[in-house]
Structure 1
């Protein structure tokens, strides 16, 4: 028996002894302790994430702390209601029975977290697991080492290893863990690795939540506000250096306003970062790329796009020594450009023209279903058409990315961009087994019609029920 199997066995024993029948108050106490700890260590977290990829302190508050604290508050406020048994009505064919749905924890879970939002995308799923009453083994990313060490410290101070354990290592650790018989796996990362996780989980018929990504499209129609659209696109695309599963991957602009939008984006960028126009890499408002390998991949994408005819509107500056890649906007991009063939996951965005909305939707439908789709428009007809004639994990109108932080919305992709939902009540359900309980009468059970011998009288009653009820 290896050390990981031994840990899982200990967690399984702990689950049955301590968590399976835990009450809402038991779990709420743990969630409150998590909230208290997080708020007491804000500055330490900011320092850890800055050390990993120079993420601005304001972005840490906005995209790491705020979502986690909001998720904790939501679970604390609503957990009793989420756990409450739900009575269901009795159909005539089940006369004599009473039925309800109960909510039990799935059991022993594995959380595999990424590096791009290293705190929020680790602790967010854990909040759902704790709310549901599960144990968890957590593997944070080896690429964000400082934040992973911070997370390990947090979990060691709040939980015993038999309830929540934090294991640090590379992909070989992830492979070893996914080979174990967990009751649920929550993975956040690329579709390519998601497929491997799902394949490993299938060996044990283990349920999964896969938070993946995709080539998130933006449509800007001729009715959009240039000022509003450019402000939101500059932030939504270049926040966290574009290293986000919700980041816009490409922008399609109606040809009548194409030039105006390009001009607006250039002006907006210069206004936003005017204090560091000549040394953009020194801006305190821009994150860096996580490591040299990703930096080289992104630099290569820009060169391939330019070789295929794309032009640089802004950007093109970099500092390989610090993995800094300046926000880059490409224009005159055609549908066959290689920049459109993969999720960019960096501070680069290509802009295309479209003539009519059907053309824009056709390009979107030619690719895998994205995690997010963004439409900038003041036309109700166009907005409704995009929502109705596309498929994506979520849609945002006149905005990008922010749906992720809404605790009342289920978050997740569809097919290639994800399986299952997370956050709030949806996250609780992801780690929960909805178990039906049916109680039958001992005096006149409704199943009498189902029991042999099958007499003519029983057949007449059965057909009456089929026809009229």
Structure 2
């Protein structure tokens, strides 16, 4: 380990100890303190919005509209929802008490874990850092934020905004790359929330296990889009194109590949072509507002996945700006390289199926995806897909919008992740549920005390029916 790395490790150790000391003052636990923190965060986001937009433009070439729709606006909506409901969520939840424990009352108290680590990715670098932070603060924790090194402009803005808004002993930002990530994972946190790829997620879980630290892993995978013959094909194509090519396909829940029923395939692909040209033009003619691939490494990886495949639509690339046009690949084999990994780019492989059970079997044989999308007008098909396949979440007759709500949780299953967040799920994720029984003293049931006998056994059996 170099001197620089050792100094960085010492700084991180010092930061975690400082936050733990601050947490132990109990200041972060009151409703008043939590609400004040959320209000400060909201004001900070509004104040820094222009800088956030500039950073998103620099890192990903996002337009101001897309930046608000997919990052800033969603974060503010989540923040306001949490503020509205926080007092209720913090209240002790009374539960029924068994007769055998009479006289007493039982309740569940939500308490913060303590000092938590939030590691965020580069594809939605602002929103996927802020939304977990909202849940962590609402639950009463101190937080260490680690933005992605792949989106340095946004990382710098987040650091500046957080340092201006919160004391370091409460919320702090650690910038850097692999060395900083490793140093952070050597620390004992009370909870780790990670969003990113499967391989790094496995490393996070392994390091967390050394300290028995609970984790939420928001990962990814190859999310299928199934188009069945009874679907409204033109509308389905429009919604597929929106979900697939938003942020140049760099969305963890983007439709990764298309499974379309053979008898409607040609018609459906014509609609896909129509909507791509209507939304994005031909090739890369709308370069100024079209997002770029995050870096050269991922640009080359996606470009290689296209090579050797039959390009039906798109295929244009611009190395100087790291942009790849919306691309559709026809007659793709399930054994093709592009079907062996998550694409995370604006490329849609097309596969066909004869009947819906064939599509079910295709998805079932693969790791459980983070999302699944089904376009159909047949309620029996809808029921079969939702009941027979396991996946994190998804939509029927639309794409990706299931994560854009605070009213239900979002998360993966199996290799696509564990745990969930958004709205109350975020509060619950960053809270330990402490079960408590308060026993009253005016009566002490003698049945449970030794010596035992047949009469006591008879009474106990009656209580525990």
Cα distance between partner residues in 2 of 1:442 and 1:456: 26
Counterpart of 2:393 in structure 1 is 394
Counterpart of 2:3 in structure 1 is none
- The answer on whether the counterparts of 2:59 and 2:152 sit within 8 Å (CA) in structure 1 is yes
Counterpart of 1:450 in structure 2 is 448
Cα distance between partner residues in 1 of 2:199 and 2:288: 33
1:39-188 paired onto structure 2 within 5 Å:
39-188=46-195
Counterpart of 2:418 in structure 1 is 419
1:303-318 paired onto structure 2 within 5 Å:
303=307, 306=308, 310-318=309-317
How many aligned positions are there? 457
Out of 332-341 and 128-137, give the one that drifted further.
332-341
Counterpart of 2:240 in structure 1 is 233
Pick from 11, 14, 22 the counterpart of residue 14 of structure 1: 22
- The answer on whether the counterparts of 1:281 and 1:324 sit within 8 Å (CA) in structure 2 is no
Q: SS of the residue aligned with 1:90?
A: coil
Cα distance between partner residues in 2 of 1:154 and 1:3: 20
Are positions 1:432 and 2:440 aligned together? no
Cα distance between partner residues in 1 of 2:75 and 2:178: 26
Q: SS of the residue aligned with 1:174?
A: helix
Q: Which runs of 5+ in 1 are unaligned?
A: none
- The answer on whether the counterparts of 1:97 and 1:445 sit within 8 Å (CA) in structure 2 is no
Are positions 1:364 and 2:360 aligned together? no
Out of 332-341 and 211-220, give the one that drifted further.
332-341
Cα distance between partner residues in 2 of 1:138 and 1:382: 43
- The answer on whether the counterparts of 1:209 and 1:419 sit within 8 Å (CA) in structure 2 is yes
1:463 deviates by 2.2
1:238-317 paired onto structure 2 within 5 Å:
238-274=245-281, 277=282, 280=284, 282-303=286-307, 306=308, 310-317=309-316
Deviations 1:302-343 (A, max 9, x none): 11xx3xxx4111111111122111111001112222211111
Are positions 1:332 and 2:331 aligned together? yes
- The answer on whether the counterparts of 1:281 and 1:318 sit within 8 Å (CA) in structure 2 is no
1:232 deviates by 0.7
Deviations 1:123-153 (A, max 9, x none): 1111111101100111101110000000001
1:2 deviates by 2.0
- The answer on whether the counterparts of 2:230 and 2:377 sit within 8 Å (CA) in structure 1 is yes
Counterpart of 2:406 in structure 1 is 407
Q: SS of the residue aligned with 1:114?
A: coil
Counterpart of 1:463 in structure 2 is 461
Distance 1:452 1:281, change over 3 A: farther
Cα distance between partner residues in 2 of 1:11 and 1:256: 60
Q: SS of the residue aligned with 2:46?
A: helix
Cα distance between partner residues in 1 of 2:194 and 2:380: 37
Deviations 1:272-329 (A, max 9, x none): 233xx3x6154334200000000010011111xx3xxx41111111111221111110
- The answer on whether the counterparts of 2:27 and 2:33 sit within 8 Å (CA) in structure 1 is no
1:29 deviates by 1.6
1:26 deviates by 1.7
Cα distance between partner residues in 2 of 1:133 and 1:9: 17
Q: SS of the residue aligned with 1:37?
A: helix
Are positions 1:354 and 2:361 aligned together? no
Q: CA RMSD in A?
A: 1.3
1:179 deviates by 1.2
Cα distance between partner residues in 2 of 1:186 and 1:206: 10
Consecutive aligned runs of 4 or more in structure 1 exceeding 4 Å deviation: none
Cα distance between partner residues in 1 of 2:134 and 2:450: 51
Cα distance between partner residues in 2 of 1:70 and 1:194: 28
1:11 deviates by 0.4
Distance 1:5 1:362, change over 3 A: same
- The answer on whether the counterparts of 1:75 and 1:424 sit within 8 Å (CA) in structure 2 is yes
Cα distance between partner residues in 2 of 1:254 and 1:282: 32
- The answer on whether the counterparts of 2:280 and 2:286 sit within 8 Å (CA) in structure 1 is no
1:88 deviates by 0.8
Cα distance between partner residues in 2 of 1:181 and 1:326: 44
Cα distance between partner residues in 2 of 1:285 and 1:384: 39
Cα distance between partner residues in 2 of 1:37 and 1:343: 35
Cα distance between partner residues in 2 of 1:26 and 1:174: 30
Q: SS of the residue aligned with 1:321?
A: coil
